[in-house]
Amino acid sequence: MNHIEGKTRRAFLQESGFWLGSALVVSYGGQLIEKAALAADAATFAPSLFIAIAPDGKVTLVCHRSEMGQGIRTSMAMLLADELEVDLRSITLVQADGDERYGDQNTDGSHSVSMNWTRLREAGAAAREMLVAAAAKKWAVAPESCHAQAGHVYRNASKKSLTYGELVAAAAELKVPAHPKIKADAQLRLIGTGQPSVDLEPMLAGKSVFGIDVVVDEMVYASLERAPTVGGKIKSLDSAAALASPGVLKVVRLKGIRKYTNNAVAVVAGNTWSALQGRRALKVEWENEAVSGSTELRAALEKSLESPGKNFRKDGDFEAQLQGAARVVEARYHAPFLVHATMEPLACVARVLGDDCEIWAPTQDPQGTLKDVAKLLGFKENKIKLHVTMLGGGFGRKSQPDFVLEAVALAKELGRAVKITWTREDEIRHGFYHPESTQRMTATLDKQGKVTGWRHRSAFTTIARLFDAGATEPAGFEMGMGCTNFPYHVPHVLCEGSSAPTDVRVAWLRSVCNIFHAFSVNSFLDELAHETGRDAVQLRLDMLEPYGIPEWDKKSTPPLDTGRLANVLKLAASQSGWGRKLASGTGLGIACHYSFKSYVAVALEVKMKGSKLQVTRADCVIDSGRIVNADSVKAQMEGSMIFGLSAALYGEITLKGGMVEQSNFHDYSLMRMPEAPKIRVQLVKSDAPPTGVGEPGVPSVAPALCAAIFQATGKRIRDLPVARHLS
């Protein structure tokens, strides 16, 4: 739904009059304002779900995507404000609340902008056209002789103008245009520029409200001791000491929902600390059913690579090539489980009173969460109010409803509002992990060293189990993230996938399967270049030619263009000074990857001091089509370099007896400032449709890093994380 065709705003308001009233209102000041004075009363001009203009000229815009640092609130507001012709700094931005009329709100897959580029621009343009038409009517002139600018409509020929506030009553009587005209590129004032975050002021004041910060009336605090393994049951529980701990109010057993949550014991108290102390005093013994560990899993993954697995792509006849090839090169790569480690651990406030439920949560997926909560409570979705707070990082973790379901279940049990705050240990041990994977790459070469055949066997713990608990094979969407959409022209390509079961939950983590597929594909290309004495950039460029859309992707929208991938690679090469002579102990590695419909190339420079590694520079080039906010694209690339380096250098979750062995930042390390390289980001100017930004920067980092280390040391790292090999 875009805007309400052929309806006056009165009719529209009758149907949607509660929309602002029910939203969690985060004002420009960043404070939570419950049901603020912004309710769309009859005097407000609200031509769509996204825009409300009050008679005093106050403009309220709605962001229906979750903000987790990717700058989406600013980008969404820019799309609306540019077309509406209002000052970005004067608007109030409210966060949508999971109402299905906003359409998809699941903030994942890096597609907020591509999905909403036209929709929001048209919503803004429709409102602008109505305001212009209202002014023209007042002046009894043609709308073409008027124009809108910065919250006013001007009459071109004279100096006359009216403010939007003065026009709302008249505009509200007009029909919402069915086909509003969006601005020509030359008229855009915001889109494509770099704008600071609309949430800067409250953020710097410490006033932005994250999920963990929510406080509501009569709220108590809880901490959960969860079964250490999925499916683990309470064998014995002695809560006497916990109940005697100061401030503890109650100890509650919570039954898990296998897909999402473990069985748990909740300690409820008057504040977080008391809840934590009470939890420490619990005496609980668990009966665990899951027993497998990392060693078993890895063996199973490796073993599955010996046989073909499921066929996901077959061009030509690789097997025949294998028989007659002048040369065969093969390598295996391994990448471990990763955890999100969002700086804000999970937290949720819920209140269930009678048949009403209200939730405050840093969720990436309000609508999916609503459905799961409704199912849990047996409520209709419209009896549940879900307020989306700011997210202190998401990276896919906060797409899962587990932390909300726990809070709701506990709130129901208590009959009052409760906040569950996860500790870091909880977050690391009860994750929805990025899958562990092993890849077997085989290439056939002709006498000239040209790659004639490419076989990619990918084995990992499939995320498909999220939708189908019995899934034993990877899903097409997973293989399509860097394996089956292998962009290089090779006549004989074979992509095969297999999975191995694991006892922990696996799901999305920033850039998903692209992480290990980009690692193996790029690392292997680097090895092939080395093996055949060719330059790693030139080898890729040769294989990407002829530039254009490969036959197999012709039907995608937009399709892959190998020329755009070649372009970012060339730009990154030249920006990094590719080919220059390097000092000994120094290495420059490069990789490129197509994901989320965007093209990224990364060159990393490393310096070895003994066994100590310093990443000195990162050159990153992205072509993500049209850009909304250039500064946030840049910031996302900077962040992706650091995120990718943390994963490549240190990221590793291991299991023992079905339990996660890591617990906090001392054993799950993240990159810190002294290790961070200088980062230079280049954005390719493009007229292509806008594509992903939040995720596509990450995949190229690990292979570029390992290629650089190889150049600096002669050591090929095929098994992540890197830190394990340097000491």
**Which residues contact ligand FES (rule: CB under 6 A)?**
69, 343, 393
Q: How far is the CB of 216 from ligand FES (least distance, A)?
A: 23
Residue ranges in contact with another protein by CB under 8 A: 67-71, 196-197, 199-201, 203-210, 212-213, 215, 221, 246-247, 271-274, 277, 341-345, 390-395, 421, 423-424, 631, 635, 638-643, 646, 664-666, 670-674, 676, 678-679
Q: 200 is in the binding site of which of another protein, ligand FES, none (Cβ under 5 to 8 A by kind)?
A: another protein
**DSSP assignment string, 639-677:** HHHHHHHHHHHT--B-EETTEE---STTTS----GGGPP
Cα distance between residue 139 and residue 132, in whole Å:
11
641 binds, among another protein, ligand FES, none (CB under 5 to 8 A by kind): another protein
Calpha distance 508→108 (Å, rounded): 9
Backbone angles phi, psi at 600, to 5 degrees: -135, 140
Residue bearing tokens 């996860």: 422
Reduce the secondary structure of 583-597 to three states and give it as a string.
Answer: CCCEEEEEEEEEECC
Distance CA 434, CA 472 (A): 17
Provide the minimum distance between the beta carbon of 670 and another protein in the complex, in angstroms, as a whole number: 5
Selection from 348, 335, 306, 390 nearest residue 67 by Cα = 390
Task: Give how far Cα 57 sits from Cα of 385, 437, 474, 477, Å.
Answer: 29, 55, 53, 46
Report the partner that residue 679 touches, choosing among another protein, ligand FES, none (CB closer than 5 to 8 A by kind).
another protein
- How far apart are CB 203 and ligand FES at their closest, in Å? 9
Q: Which of 475, 679 has the CB closer to ligand FES?
A: 679
Closest to ligand FES by CB, 70 vs 598, is 70
Nearer to ligand FES, 167 or 338 (CB): 338
Q: Choosing among ligand FES, another protein, none, which partner's interface includes residue 11 (Cβ < 5 to 8 Å by kind)? A: none
Six-digit token string for 137: 């009517």
The pair of structure tokens assigned to 708 is 């650089």
Q: Are 293 and 337 in contact (CB under 8 A)?
A: no
The CB-of-105 to ligand FES minimum distance in angstroms stands at 21
Among ligand FES, another protein, none, residue 699 binds (CB under 5-8 Å by kind): none
For residues 663 and 427, what is the distance between their CA atoms, to the nearest angstrom?
A: 8
Q: Which does 488 bind (CB under 5 to 8 A by kind): another protein, ligand FES, none?
A: none
Question: From the CB of 391, what's the least distance to ligand FES, in Å?
Answer: 9
Q: CA gyration radius for the chain?
A: 27
| Closest approach of ligand FES to the CB of residue 631, in Å | 14
CA distance 654 to 203: 35
Q: Which residue's CB is nearer to another protein, number 676 or number 726?
A: 676
Which CA distances in Å does 285 have to 104, 236, 237?
42, 5, 6
Smaller CB separation from ligand FES, 69 or 401: 69
Helix (H) or strand (E) holding 577: none
CA dist list (Å): 45 to 73, 101, 171, 553, 617: 22, 18, 7, 45, 51
| Kind plus residue range of the DSSP H or E element containing 102 | none
In angstroms, what is the minimal distance from the CB of 518 to another protein? 18
**Interatomic CA distance for residues 688 and 625, integer angstroms:** 4
Q: Tell me whether residue 121 or residue 419 sits nearer to another protein (CB atom).
A: 419
CB closer to ligand FES out of 287 and 667: 667
Q: Which does 676 bind (CB under 5 to 8 A by kind): another protein, ligand FES, none?
A: another protein
Q: CB under 5 to 8 A by kind: which of another protein, ligand FES, none does 197 bind? A: another protein
User: Among candidates 426, 391, 389, 424, which has minimal Cα distance to 406?
Assistant: 426
Choose between 281 and 328: whose C-beta lies nearer to another protein.
Answer: 281
Distance in Å, CB of 69 to ligand FES, minimum: 5
Residue 164 or residue 643: which is nearer to ligand FES going by CB?
A: 643
Judged by beta carbon, residue 288 or residue 423, the one nearer another protein is 423
**How does 686-711 read in b/e, with b if 16+ C-beta sit within 10 Å?**
bebebbbbbbbbbbbbbbbbbbbbbb
CB of 601 to another protein, least distance (A): 18
| Nearest position to ligand FES, beta carbon | 343
Nearest approach, Cβ of 539 to another protein (angstroms)?
30
